[in-house]
Amino acid sequence: MNDTTHMPLIGDLFPEMQVNTTHGVKNLPGDYAGKWLVLFSHPADFTPVCTTEFVSFQKNYQTFRDLNTELLGLSMDQVFAHIKWEEWIKEHFDTEIEFPIIADTGTVATRLGFLHPGKSGHDTNTVRAVFVIDPEGKVRTILYYPQELGRNMEEIIRIVKGLQTVDANQVALPANWPNNELFGADAIIPPAKTVADAQARLAAGQAGEFTCEDWWLCHKPLGQ
């Protein structure tokens, strides 16, 4: 589905929109075509948990860029508030925020499902949402965190790495990849869809092409 009446879901194309940011006007998702994008909302500027998150996002910004990934923040604050908050972070933590932040009036947050009034008690603070958008503009992951819990940067980075690995190798990835308790860094072979596929899968496993616990659960090292 890609209509304009529902919030984007996993697998949808991110809706086209123009947003005002601390780096000027951005056209989404077009300005990020060919790159991965992590779009994340925070409840408000000058709040404790959000401040720690922005420092952490910035500390990991080079890691994201090394993965061909850009960061884009959002809250329902005006541009001047974002700028002043960035200055405060620079002054107090010697950390310069290099990625843009959307200044939203509520239109973008509403469109994307970032407002959960039942949690915050009002409709002016966004939840801690994360959208991971691929180079074709498709939404690949959606995460929601409550206001009282800061995000885990390592997990967001793992998601980007994992999705890139899935796309490059046409595989699935197990829990806690690349440190799965059963198969380590192995990738999961997509399940067979026909009886013939199931029989071929077992034969391939017996031939050593990959390891099969059963025809529906086969895995292999990446690159094999």
Give me the domain span that covers residue 143: 17-151
Q: Is residue 191 part of a domain?
A: yes
Q: What is the pLDDT of residues 37-63, one digit of tens each?
A: 999 999 999 999 999 999 999 999 999
Q: What is the pLDDT of residue 201?
A: 85
Q: Is residue 82 part of a domain?
A: yes
- Other beta carbons within 10 angstroms of residue 143's beta carbon come to 16
> 154 pLDDT band (50/70/90 cuts)?
very high
What is the total count of domains within the chain?
Answer: 2
Whether 218 is catalytic: no
> 2 pLDDT band (50/70/90 cuts)?
very low
Q: Is residue 157 part of a domain?
A: no
Question: pTM for the full model?
Answer: 0.92
Residue 155: its H or E element = helix 153-169
- Give the C-alpha separation, 213 to 181, whole Å: 15
Task: Report, in angstroms and rounded to the nearest whole number, the Rg of the chain calculated over CA atoms.
Answer: 20
Residue 23 has pLDDT above 90, yes or no: yes
Q: What is the pLDDT of residue 97?
A: 98
* Given the residues 50, 102, 103, 187, the one annotated as active site: 50
